[in-house]
């Protein structure tokens, strides 16, 4: 799988073998490898756990390689023709971006009728998107409704701690008619076991902790981004958070079955191979409804 600058043919970042697996090459080689990786590891959220599930991505892949949907292709079937099929369904077009995209051509997106955008602000309590301000402000300057999202790592710290970090670093909400509610990206663990070592009950409580903290500070409950399969597996298909707007990820012609409690999705991420930037989404409503969501 290959990566492109616009995620047009995005695949999971390449994995590097641990230097400890080199055994016979000796301690000197191990020391050189560790010294080479040290600068990249410094930007990674602290305390990366050892993988207990799928293969562990290289420290070089994190957290720059974590974005909305970056783990889906490794866990769920995707339709390569999803974008063409889903576009027929209509709905307002939107995108989500992270530092992976770097400089985004917001004018081109605006000309392509993109009406909303979400920008990754933070991950866990140790990473801030260095491109956040430029991307967030760039969307605003084109008249695109915009919001911020947090990439959750529930095994690192409490939901409240991550919500506070998110709020303190761009994730707040402003009652200006153009700012969308904050969003929580909760998906497969890119560092190890897909449910982060939490039981379904613990996961539900973690999400409630995050959501309640955001609501207390902003007056808005966050949008929850997830997949139906992950939600069923890692929360026991809990219906307890259905008051939060749902952002469903499914790379197919239709949204398909929804997690328990929700009767419809607010957003649907239907492809990671869209034009200009890879991740494209549809809002389930018209312009007035999208503005109403921003206004709260």
Active-site pick, 6, 96, 194, 279:
96
Q: Is the pLDDT of residue 2 over 60?
A: no
Q: Is the pLDDT of residue 22 over 90?
A: no
- Determine the pLDDT at residue 85: 66
Q: Is the pLDDT of residue 39 over 50?
A: no
Q: Is the pLDDT of residue 221 over 70?
A: yes
- Of 252 and 161, which is predicted with more confidence? 161
Q: Is the pLDDT of residue 284 over 60?
A: yes
Active site residue 240: no
Active-site pick, 44, 155, 185, 279:
185
- Determine the pLDDT at residue 87: 60
Task: Please enumerate in sequence order all residues whose Cβ is within 8 A of that of 147, keeping only pairs 6 or more positions apart, or say none.
Answer: 116, 117, 118, 119, 173, 179, 180, 181, 182, 183, 223
CATH 3.20.20.80 fits 72-295, yes or no: yes
Angle 94-136-147 (CA atoms, 0-180°, nearest 5)?
A: 55
Domain boundaries, the chain: 72-295
| Structure-token pair, residue 81 | 């023709």
| Calculated CA dihedral for residues 49, 54, 55, 59, nearest 10 degrees | -40
The predicted model gives 232-246 an average pLDDT of 98
Please report where in the chains the tokens 């290289």 appear, as a residue.
58
Active site residue 187: yes
Lowest mean pLDDT among 32-46, 151-165, 259-273: 32-46
Q: How confident is the model at residue 81 (pLDDT cuts 50, 70, 90)?
A: confident
Lowest mean pLDDT among 48-52, 113-117, 133-137, 233-237: 48-52
pLDDT tens for 250-271 read 998 899 999 999 999 999 999 9
The predicted model gives 140-153 an average pLDDT of 98
Active site residue 194: no
Residues β-bridged to residue 146 = 117, 179
| Structure-token pair, residue 48 | 């990366």
* Residue 105 CB coordination number (10 Å): 15
Active-site pick, 44, 187, 194, 279:
187
Distances (CA, A) of 158 to 162, 188, 211, 212: 6, 17, 11, 12
- Determine the pLDDT at residue 91: 84
Lowest mean pLDDT among 11-15, 113-117, 191-195, 233-237: 11-15
Separation between Cα atoms, residue 5 and residue 112, nearest integer Å: 19
């Amino acid at each position: 799988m290959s990566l492109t600058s616009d995620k047009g043919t995005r695949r999971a970042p390449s994995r590097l073998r641990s230097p400890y697996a080199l055994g016979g090459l000796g301690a000197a080689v191990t020391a050189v490898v560790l010294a080479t990786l040290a600068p990249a590891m410094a930007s990674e959220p602290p305390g990366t756990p050892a993988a207990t599930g799928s293969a562990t991505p290289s420290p070089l892949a994190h957290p720059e390689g974590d974005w909305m949907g970056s783990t889906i292709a490794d866990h769920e079937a995707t339709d390569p023709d999803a974008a063409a099929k889903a576009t027929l369904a209509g709905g307002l077009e939107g995108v989500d971006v992270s530092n992976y995209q770097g400089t985004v051509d917001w004018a081109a997106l605006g000309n392509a009728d993109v009406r909303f955008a979400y920008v990754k602000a933070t991950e866990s309590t140790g990473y801030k998107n260095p491109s956040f301000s430029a991307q967030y402000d760039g969307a605003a300057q084109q008249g695109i409704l915009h919001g911020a999202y947090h990439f959750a790592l529930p095994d690192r710290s409490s939901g409240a701690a991550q919500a506070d970090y998110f709020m303190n670093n761009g994730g707040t909400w402003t009652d200006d008619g153009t700012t969308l509610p904050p969003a929580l990206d909760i998906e497969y663990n890119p560092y190890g076991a897909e449910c982060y070592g939490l039981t379904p009950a613990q996961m539900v409580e973690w999400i409630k902790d995050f959501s309640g903290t955001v609501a207390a500070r902003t007056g808005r409950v966050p949008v929850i981004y997830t997949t139906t399969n992950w939600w069923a597996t890692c929360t026991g298909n809990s219906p307890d958070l259905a008051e939060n707007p749902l952002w469903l990820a499914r790379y197919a012609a239709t949204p398909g079955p929804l997690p328990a409690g929700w009767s419809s999705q607010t957003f649907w991420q239907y492809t990671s191979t869209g034009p200009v930037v890879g991740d494209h989404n549809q809002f389930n409503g018209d312009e007035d409804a999208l503005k109403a969501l921003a206004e709260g």
